Amino acid sequence: MSREALTGSRIRERRIILGCKQADLARQIGISASYLNLIEHNRRKIGGKLLLDIAARLKVDASTLTERAEIALIASLREAAHGTGVSSEELDRVEEFVARFPSWANLLAVSNQKIFGLEQMIATLNDRITHDPQLAASVHEVLSTAASIRSTASILVEDKKLEPHWRDKFHANIDSDSRRLAASSKALVGFLDVDSGEAAISSSPQEEVEAFLAANDYCFPEIEAGRIKPADEIINASNLTSISARQIAESFLEKIVADSAQVKMSHLLAQLEVLGPDLVQLASKFQVSLPCIMRRLASVPRLGMGLVTADRSGALLFRKSIPGFTIPRYGAACPLWPLFQVMGQAGHIISKRIQISRHTDTVFQCFAAAELIGSSVVNSAPLTEATMLIVPVASGQIDPTILTEEMGSSCRICSRRNCMGRREPSILGEEF
Amino acid sequence: MDKHVLLIEDEVNIIEALRFLLSREGWTVDTHSDGASAVEKIRNIRPNLVILDYMLPKYSPQSCNP
């Protein structure tokens, strides 16, 4: 049943809220009670003057009666019903449910969103506790220091005839270890601290770094110019609270230093004027790798380009989302992305025109290339990292003769049908 | 019997404490702190006993089969 066809249900609901009897309303608008009854049960279409009269009597806009069942609310309920065993017959009546019981429908949708948020939080915490190497290292640090203090203290207590130089030595060791234990315990508590609300829970070191980079618009001119060292920038960054985040951020800034030494920003901007955004020519001109040029271009705020890198396992190492192209924070990204097509093919570049959703007009030209990481080791496959530059294409510059491929962000929020790369069902209804 | 122990550990203070305790009990103590070459060290000196920090950086316990 279409949304317009449920106008009668909304009339009935509104009339009951106002405490108006069906016969009274019918008399006021000059129709029979039986005809109004048919309207209210969606068995007669209604529009024009009669709709306006009823709306006036019910003290609402006519549009409220015809368009009240919002698309977003219906979509939220479809999402809530996904995988819960709700029959298709009842799912087909979701619009009627929304029209007749908007408050209950809204409550259900809000509750479902809250459950989803809590599930994400649990998954994040579970992932951190189970797999986070930083957490494992922090725990190991605390345990090692405690073990050292325990061993040394035992010697001091049990050996009554300990030579003075050994006693002094062990006292000094306990002093230094206890300081270390205090610092490492504090760091561990800070890592696990959940008292600061949801934001603190969901803030992994990687997310802290991303927030730090976003706050700086991914651009660090003072570091590029050599006026500030990465370590000093990190010390002054109040939003980098954990040791792990600071290490990751410093490593990222060191890469910026290395990249900017090869491709100075002023030179890059000058060559952009001459060569245009031709990655191959730019890389050739500066004699650097394609990913290096991509990173440099993505650090120019006014160009508005996004960037994502992944290692050979498919884990996303760096994300710079741009409007219309959201890079997932949790879970895996779309396997159709060119980013994954170049993996293991260092030097190979792929350029594809991509549309993330068929319902938006935003189109992106994506360039992907891989590069080797570290030096070669005999009989050991080289590690590679793939980088993808995401360039928004202005709506006036979209060439309809160039193939545009539809891809997703991640399977869960992608409605692409019959996709060979799908790992899990989408939560989106077909109207998306 | 020769009592030769190899202590593989990267915490200096733990090494000192264990070296003190083991020496007092008559053990000859060798120490090593590099996880990457730990197995090679064991093969070279063939100690009677190895005390190993299981979470030593750059060390893979699964590779230890001297």
**Cβ <8 Å between A177 and B16:** no
Residue B1 confidence (pLDDT): 59
User: Is any Cβ of chain A less than 8 angstroms from the Cβ of B13?
Assistant: yes
CB proximity list for A157: less than 8 A, separation 6 or greater = none
CA-CA-CA-CA torsion sign (A285, A290, A292, A293) = positive
CA B47, CA B7: separation in Å to the nearest integer?
10
A298-307: average pLDDT? 91
| Residue A255 and residue A220 in contact, taking contact as beta carbons nearer than 8 Å | no
For residue B26, give both structure tokens. Answer: 């008559």
DSSP structure string for A227-244 = SS-HHHHHHT-TT--SHH
Average pLDDT over every residue of A100-122: 82
User: Which of the pair, A417 or A229, is modelled with greater confidence?
Assistant: A229
pLDDT digits (tens, 9 = 90+) for A253-271: 999 999 999 999 999 999 9
* CA separation for the pair A61, A29 (Å, rounded): 16
Residues forming a β-bridge with A306? A390
pLDDT band at A428 (very low <50, low <70, confident <90, very high): low
Residue A322 DSSP one-character state: B
In this structure, the number of other CB atoms found within 10 A of the CB of residue A266 comes to: 8
Interface A-B: count of C-beta contacts within 8 A: 29
CB contact under 8 A, B13 and A173: yes
List, in sequence order, every residue forming a beta bridge with A318; answer none if it has no partner: A309
Closest approach of A72 to chain B, Cα-based (Å): 51
Burial zone of A290 (CB within 10 Å; 0-12 exposed, 13-18 middle, 19+ buried): buried
Say whether A406 sits in a helix, a strand or coil.
strand
Close Cβ partners of A368 (under 8 Å, ≥ 6 residues apart):
A337, A338, A339, A341, A342, A349, A350, A351, A352, A386, A387, A388, A389
In a mutagenesis test of the B interface, which of A144, A145, A158, A160 is the best target, namely the one with the most B β-carbons within 10 Å?
A144
- Residue A201 CA to residue A129 CA, distance in Å, equals 12
Q: Which of B11, B17, B18 sits opposite A144 (nearest CB)?
A: B11
Interface of A with B (CB under 8 A): 140, 144-145, 147-148, 151-152, 155, 166, 169-170, 173, 176-177
Rg of chain A, C-alpha, whole Å: 31
A43-47, A78-82, A215-219, A397-401: the lowest-pLDDT one: A397-401
- Residue A195 confidence class, pLDDT cut points 50, 70, 90: very low
Out of A145, A147, A173, the one facing B16 most closely (by C-beta) is A173
Tokens 């985040």, residue located:
A245
Three-state secondary structure call for residue A135: helix
Of A140, A145, A152, which has the smallest distance from its Cβ to B17's Cβ?
A: A152
Which pLDDT score, from 0 to 100, does residue A241 have? 76
The contacts of residue A213 (CB under 8 Å, 6+ apart) are A249, A252, A320
How many other CB atoms are there within 10 angstroms of residue A420's CB atom?
A: 6
Query: Radius of gyration (Cα) for chain B, nearest Å?
Result: 11
Write out the H or E segment, with its range, that includes residue B31: strand B28-32
The CB-side HSE value for A236 (13 A sphere, CA atoms) comes to: 7
Residue among A326, A335, A332, A313 nearest A420 (CA)? A335
Judge whether A224 and A257 are in contact, CB under 8 Å: yes
A46-71 pLDDT, tens per residue?
Answer: 877 888 888 888 888 777 777 654 66
Instruction: Determine the pLDDT at residue B53.
Output: 83
**Residue A6: which pLDDT band, with cuts at 50, 70 and 90?**
confident
Confidence of residue A198 (pLDDT cuts 50, 70, 90): very low
d(CA A52, CA A47): 8
Nearby residues of A53 by Cβ (< 8 Å), 6 or more positions away: A29, A30
CA atoms B11, B16, B21, B22: torsion sign: positive
Report residue A171 as tokens: 């006292």
CB atoms within 10 A of CB A318: 21
Q: Which of residues 22-51 of B touch A (CB under 8 A)?
A: none
How many Å apart are CA A298 and CA A117, to the nearest integer?
31
- The least confident of A71-75, A113-117, A153-157 is A71-75
| A296 closest CA partner among A346, A259, A267 | A259
Please report, for residues A167, A209, A420, B19, the alpha-carbon distance to residue A158 in angstroms, rounded to integers and kept in the order given. 12, 48, 69, 16
The alpha carbon of residue B48 is apart from the nearest alpha carbon of chain A, in Å, by 22
Give the pTM.
0.49
CA neighbor of A343 nearest in space, from A297, A383, A289? A383
Which chain A residue has the Cα nearest residue B10? A144
Which is more confident, A77 or A195? Answer: A77
Q: How far is CA A202 from CA A121, A284, A333, in A?
A: 6, 41, 19
Model pLDDT, residue B66: 46
Q: At A194, is the pLDDT very low, low, confident or very high (cuts 50, 70, 90)?
A: very low
Q: Which two three-digit tokens encode residue A386?
A: 């793939």
3-state secondary structure of A110: helix
Mean pLDDT taken over chain A: 82
